[in-house]
Structure 1
């Protein structure tokens, strides 16, 4: 296997005081904001998938500060943040990697790094940004300061015909030890990638059939990939990777008629509460509950549709579930202790994403076809604010800058 390496010096800049302005940003309210000092702890980005733009929002004031345009195809987009939470790195479906300055409301830098991208991650030390690609299959690593290419890792494997091919890469996350971990959809493998003194170190592990997405547990120990090609999940213990990949929750759908899969579940933000993992079932109207001590299946919670996101509130008391088409206009809230559905909410048409505020007093929910984001109080489960947005999808708050695997 060969790697293309581009050595670049790392430059660390410390921003002490930043003057906030909205130059290059269009205010949705049509009013100009007074310039002033501002931190980034209560800011975030909302993806406007149809227009290739993002909204800069303030979570405390429920306010849209402005819109940043020119980010390309955001039909499947995600965001990670720099360590100081000033910059958001937006991964677009067209292979675009865009560095957005939240304090100036402008694009700081942008590169087209592939033909089809699916997401990315930022390293534990904040030095590197990695992007997961469908075309060509592989992972590219960039200097987070300059967006200069540092490493190009082709996801090569040997197919059934004995030919060398390149696999789509999915489920890219950051991990302790300044590592990245990702899965190869076509090859059925999990790879770990570290950049040590500018040199990549890659380890490969056989996994289950067709891993489609993955997550890392909050302590950074377990990397778990969902499998589209079989009932079950593949788990790699990053503390003891030499033991290889373990299958967990095998055959959870065995003997049942699987339903059509209109949208693949997302494992990022997997709900883990009270020593149990709450997992979206592929092709079933269920949320699975697994005991994390032995990864045995302990319960199945019936829900109103096929779950896409199954997310725990920061205090782990609530599990919020969104759904695939055609029943994607509601969100259901589960009590993690009783495992009962306590409320069914209707945020709007085509709910796509949810994001909790850092301490969990509120959750923001995007409804693409209603062109709005609704903010709910997690104690009362009542709406407290609405924001207009153009076909909103992903919501990403800067608290992610200090969270492993997001």
Structure 2
């Protein structure tokens, strides 16, 4: 009996090695597959939410300027990397609900990406320009890729342990091979068009498409053969452009079936890369495909930002118009697309809709919410 108790005394500490020393922000040990992060842009805070039960789990403060924040996730879906407008890069533990580390890596940043193997985190910068690459575990700076002062936009990960990004001022697309993180190899594609403002990468990682602010059209880089082509050239020829109150966003994979949907700059239209044009309520900001590709959801810039419209891909027409509230900023589908979460900034709410019936199924309070990011992104190229 005495030996049994001694055995237990030695075994118990061994079994506890590696267990977290702080309390989880949820009652029981759990996975992270149904978690997400909601950015509260006005207060420099984020919410950790659970999609299954429409629950707020925690509020994390002290993340700086989140007026243009984005998030990527570690491959185990436990850690969120938050890119702030003030140049801050924050690593957040979503199980312990605490900041692991935060570094101020630049003066003004607009997004980032995590590498194919999950070991590198890259940040794109407006000021002073360039891309910085960090160790995902420690946030140690591994590489600084200068762009001669050009703003960097449209940073995504790509197969082959690569990052791809666009230079707004220089009109170029660069591909960084990160097999040797401290000595990246850069391939430059020049004169791709005027002022690329954002970009997306196809779900299979083959095509990188950059929108052009300085001219009508988009630039498409084929990462398999290294060819750059102009698509949808002169799509606005002869049209009077309206003032642009908010730049459209291309990330979100507005790809459904054989079609690619993109917002038109200065026009009330969603463009289909095969040449079709779908009239919509206002100037699109996000054009996002439901995971099954059957529907595309669209939100709009001021003064029409109280509206969301749904496009049926088979019919190529609007089938539903919703009015979630004042200042709809972002939408995010649950992993299999049965619901969509919508941030309504000026009403301080997140609204959840059933994507089959379009019924509102839940409302959560949030302080000036903007970006919504679910951990399923961890296993998708370009997100």
User: Which band: TM-score by shorter chain?
Assistant: over 0.9
Aligned pairs (5 A) from 1:33-72: 35-72=27-64
- What's the secondary structure of 2:85's corresponding residue? coil
Aligned pairs (5 A) from 1:348-363: 348-363=325-340
CA distance in 1, matches of 2:179, 2:196: 27
Where structure 2 has 5 or more consecutive residues not aligned to the other structure, the ranges are: 1-16
- What's the secondary structure of 1:226's corresponding residue? strand
CA distance in 2, matches of 1:130, 1:83: 15
Aligned pairs (5 A) from 1:1-400: 21-22=23-24, 35-156=27-148, 166-198=149-181, 199-206=183-190, 207-241=192-226, 243=227, 245-291=228-274, 297=275, 299-400=276-377
CA distance in 2, matches of 1:348, 1:124: 38
* Contact 1:19-1:36 within 8 A present in 2 as well: no
Where structure 1 has 5 or more consecutive residues not aligned to the other structure, the ranges are: 1-14, 24-32, 157-165, 292-296
Alignment partner, residue 8 of structure 2? none
Alignment partner, residue 162 of structure 1? none
* Contact 1:22-1:66 within 8 A present in 2 as well: no
Distance 1:378 1:220, change over 3 A: same
Alignment partner, residue 29 of structure 1? none
What are the superposed Cα offsets for residues 77-116 of structure 1, whole Å, 9 maximum, x if unpaired?
Answer: 0000001000000000000000000001100110000000
Distance 1:334 1:155, change over 3 A: same
Alignment partner, residue 30 of structure 1? none
CA distance in 1, matches of 2:22, 2:203: 33
Deviation at 1:222, TM superposition (A): 0.6
222-231 or 265-274, larger mean C-alpha shift: 265-274
Deviation at 1:20, TM superposition (A): 8.2
- What's the secondary structure of 1:358's corresponding residue? coil
- What's the secondary structure of 1:155's corresponding residue? coil
Distance 1:252 1:16, change over 3 A: farther
Deviation at 1:270, TM superposition (A): 3.4
Deviation at 1:189, TM superposition (A): 0.3
Runs of 4+ in 1 over 4 A off after TM superposition: 15-20
* Contact 2:217-2:233 within 8 A present in 1 as well: yes
Deviation at 1:350, TM superposition (A): 0.2
CA distance in 2, matches of 1:152, 1:360: 38
- What's the secondary structure of 2:377's corresponding residue? helix
CA distance in 2, matches of 1:68, 1:208: 40
* Contact 2:203-2:253 within 8 A present in 1 as well: no
CA distance in 2, matches of 1:270, 1:263: 19
Deviation at 1:16, TM superposition (A): 8.1
Aligned length: 365
Deviation at 1:21, TM superposition (A): 3.5
* Contact 1:47-1:55 within 8 A present in 2 as well: yes
CA distance in 2, matches of 1:259, 1:21: 52
